[in-house]
Amino acid sequence: MFATLPALLRIPLVMMLLAANIVLHVLPLFALTLVKVALPIRTIRLACSHALVAIAESWIAVNSRMFEWFTRTSWQLDGLNDLHHDGNYLVLCNHQSWVDIPVLQKIFNRRIPFLRFFLKSQLIWVPLLGPAWWALDFPFMKRYSKETLAAHPELQGKDMEATRRACEKFRHMPVSVMNFAEGTRFTPVKHDAQSSPYRYLLRPKAGGLAFVLDAMGDALHAILDVTIVYPNGPCAMMDLIAGRIRDIRVHVRELPIDGELRGDYESDAAFRARFQTWVNALWGEKDRQIGSMLEQPSTQPEEPQRCAS
């Protein structure tokens, strides 16, 4: 609708509207959070939790609509049928850019339960957004370096305890737990440093994924295997806001969770080897899927890549 506006007008306008949307939704979210904290009555807290999620879904919906209005990004989506808003999913995805998050939010908003990510503990200090994530029960993880663990062995396993506490909370509500199994964004430098056996992916980290599956138990009913491709290469968030990402392709497939995927990853060597084999095979399929998606012809006219990243 507004994608043809000159960039000097369009980009500041988008930034202003995104900021206004944050304020518009965060203020009632905070007010409702105070009610939830102040009234320790289960029925009231449950009602507040549902209302908080409704506010967050509205927030995401407005952001997504603005990107439709102000950009000419072409979306090629596959596999979004037969999803359930009252189901419980573990969402696995390759990770290339912070743009992955608004992409996932756009395609899954109100199709499946509200997406929750495991966040680094430092992100709670992000103005407005950090407290909002806390209010929405996003789990914050405090990761310790090998040096810190060597100096303070009592910290060993603290991050896993936090994961288990978060997962216990999620067992009593519809939830979609998001996991970037690579643990970090893909870059050629990281790919080479890992000697990754995949062409388009970093090595997956099986331990955290196994732990979530075990901690959530039968509360999760399926895995959504998501593959995101940016044919012109991954870009930064500002590139999305500025309309420089012209083509986004997403493939989703639902996988069953059977008993073979649950077990004690730390102590059971046989299960650990079996689970690593499963994850590596899944990642091999995803790598081939990315190659296939990149070969698909674009619906956009050929233009040179103009991403700032």
Q: What is the pLDDT of residue 64?
A: 94
Does residue 19 share a domain with residue 89? no
Which residue carries 């500025």 as its tokens?
A: 242
d(CA 96, CA 300): 21
Percent of the chain with pLDDT over 70: 91
* Average pLDDT, integer, range 36-47: 85
- Determine phi and psi for 183, rounding to 5 degrees: 80, -10
N-to-C CA span, the chain: 26
- DSSP single-letter state for residue 137: T
- Quick one: average pLDDT of 159-174? 72
Contacts of 204 (CB under 8 A, 6+ apart): 181, 182, 279, 280, 282, 283
Residue 284 lies in a domain: yes
Please determine, for residue 148, whether its predicted confidence score (pLDDT) is greater than 60: yes
178 HSE (CA, 13 A, CB side): 23
Question: How does the average pLDDT of the chain come out, rounded?
Answer: 87
The domain boundary, picked from 18, 50, 70, lies at 70
Whether residue 238 is contained in a domain is answered as yes
The boundaries of the domain holding residue 50 are: 1-70
Q: Is 289 a domain residue? A: yes
Domain shared by 184 and 265, yes or no: yes
In DSSP notation, 192-204 reads: HHHT-SSSS-PPP
Q: What predicted TM-score, i.e. pTM, was given to this entire model? A: 0.87
- Same domain for 17 and 80, yes or no, is no
pLDDT value, residue 301: 58
Q: In the prediction, which pLDDT does 138 show?
A: 81
Does residue 88 share a domain with residue 36? no
Read off the pLDDT band of 135 (50, 70, 90). Answer: confident
**Cα–Cα distance, 56 to 202 (Å, whole number):** 31
Instruction: Give the model confidence (pLDDT) of 244-279 as tens digits.
Output: 898 999 999 999 998 889 998 888 999 999 999 999
270 domain-assigned: yes
- Can you count the helices (H) and strands (E) in the chain? 10, 8
Same domain, 27 and 66: yes
Pairing of strands 140-141, 119-120: parallel
Query: Any idea which residue has 């369009």 for tokens?
Result: 10
> E strands of 176-263, at which residues?
176-179, 222-229, 247-256
Inter-axis angle of helices 158-170 and 206-216, nearest 10: 40
The CB density around residue 3, as the number of other CB atoms within 10 Å, is 13
Evaluate whether 174 touches 89 at the Cβ level (below 8 Å).
no
| Pair (60, 186) in one structural domain | no
How many domains, in total, are found in the chain? 2
For residue 178, list its beta bridge partners: 91, 117
- Do 82 and 58 belong together in one domain? no
Judgement on whether residues 109 and 2 belong to the same structural domain of the protein: no
- Residue 155 falls within a domain, yes or no? no
Q: In this structure, which amino acid lies at residue 39?
A: L
Last residue of a domain, one of 70, 93, 123: 70
Confidence class for position 304, pLDDT limits 50, 70, 90: very low
Radius of gyration from C-alpha coordinates of the chain: 20
101 with 192, same domain? yes
Lowest mean pLDDT of 79-88, 95-104, 116-125, 185-194, name the range.
116-125
Tell which residue, 225, 248, 211, 205, has the closest CA to residue 71. Answer: 248
pLDDT band at 306 (very low <50, low <70, confident <90, very high): low
257 and 246, same structural domain?
yes
What is the average pLDDT across 173-181?
88
Residues 49-59: b if buried by 16+ CB within 10 A, e if exposed: beebbebbbbb
Nearest to 223 by CA among 260, 168, 249: 260
134 within domain boundaries: no
Q: Is 116 in contact with 137 (CB distance < 8 Å)?
A: yes
> Do 213 and 277 share a domain, yes or no?
yes
Does residue 126 sit within a domain? no
Determine, yes or no, domain membership for 32.
yes
Residue 254 has, within 13 A of its CA and on its CB side, a CA count of 15
Q: Tell me what the mean pLDDT of segment 119-135 comes to.
A: 80
- C-alpha distances in Å from residue 76, one per residue of 3, 109, 183, 293: 19, 17, 26, 10
Q: What is the DSSP string of 37-64?
A: HH---HHHHHHHHHHHHHHHHHHHHHHH
Check whether residue 192 and residue 55 sit in a common domain. no
Residues 99, 105: Cα–Cα separation, whole Å: 10
Copy the structure tokens of residue 231.
């044919």
Instruction: Among 39, 70, 101, give the residue marking a domain's end.
Output: 70
